[in-house]
């Protein structure tokens, strides 16, 4: 459970990082504040295996899928701060939309998951074999080693 001193410390850290304590942070329930901030500070905002720009592009996709305008605004601006271009932001948005479309179709069709899983494994194995064969061939100008080309 958060104490007043924990709350003051969190607010101090947030203000130090963002220049202010946003209203939404102040609205977090006291018992959740410390845990929420710890996760945000130590994972989301920290240097991890996923670079910050990619985290934000992931966030943009999730924001679109969940239709969260707050998240879309925040992650778009944070992506730009971390070097994302408008084209990268558009691609992340399109990837989310395409994934949602495919998910809607697969779920509505009630596609057999075991069949889908087996076929996915077969396609991955095919792609690996194709990539291995392509890497042994002499390089050509403009060559695309994607398994779909």
Output the CA torsion sign for 132, 136, 142, 148: negative
Mind listing the pLDDT tens digit for each residue in 45-60?
A: 999 999 999 999 999 9
When pLDDT is averaged across residues 28-53 and rounded to a whole number, the result is: 96
- CATH code of residue 93: 1.20.1290.10
User: Do residues 54 and 107 share a domain?
Assistant: yes
Binned at pLDDT 50, 70 and 90, residue 139 comes out as: low
pLDDT at 122 over 90: yes
DSSP string covering 42-70, please?
IIISS--SS-HHHHHHHHHHHHHHHT-HH
Alpha-carbon gap, residue 6 to 104, rounded angstroms: 44
> Domains in the chain: how many in total?
2
- 38-49 core/surface letters (b: 16 or more CB in 10 A; e: else): eebeeeeeeeee
When pLDDT is averaged across residues 36-48 and rounded to a whole number, the result is: 96
Q: Which two tokens stand for residue 135?
A: 């890497």
Mind listing the pLDDT tens digit for each residue in 63-113?
A: 999 999 999 999 999 999 999 999 999 999 999 999 999 999 999 999 999
User: Do residues 62 and 21 share a domain?
Assistant: no
Binned at pLDDT 50, 70 and 90, residue 116 comes out as: very high
Q: Which domain holds residue 2?
A: 1-34
Residue 149 forms part of a structural domain? no
Neighbouring CB atoms inside 10 A of 96's CB total 19
What's residue 140's pLDDT?
A: 55
């Amino acid at each position: 459970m958060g104490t007043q001193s924990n709350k003051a410390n969190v607010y101090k850290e947030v203000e130090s990082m963002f220049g202010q304590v946003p209203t939404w942070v102040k609205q977090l329930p006291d018992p959740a504040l410390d845990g929420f901030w710890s996760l945000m500070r130590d994972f989301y905002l920290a240097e991890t295996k996923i670079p910050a720009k990619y985290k934000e592009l992931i966030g943009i996709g999730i924001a679109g899928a969940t239709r969260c305008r707050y998240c879309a605004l925040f992650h778009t601006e944070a992506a730009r701060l971390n070097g994302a271009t408008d084209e990268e932001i558009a691609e992340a948005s399109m990837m989310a939309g395409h994934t949602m479309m495919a998910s809607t179709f697969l779920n509505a069709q009630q596609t057999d998951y075991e069949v889908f899983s087996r076929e996915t494994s077969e396609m991955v194995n095919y792609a690996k074999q194709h990539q291995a064969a392509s890497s042994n061939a002499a390089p050509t100008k403009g060559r695309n080693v994607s398994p779909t080309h």
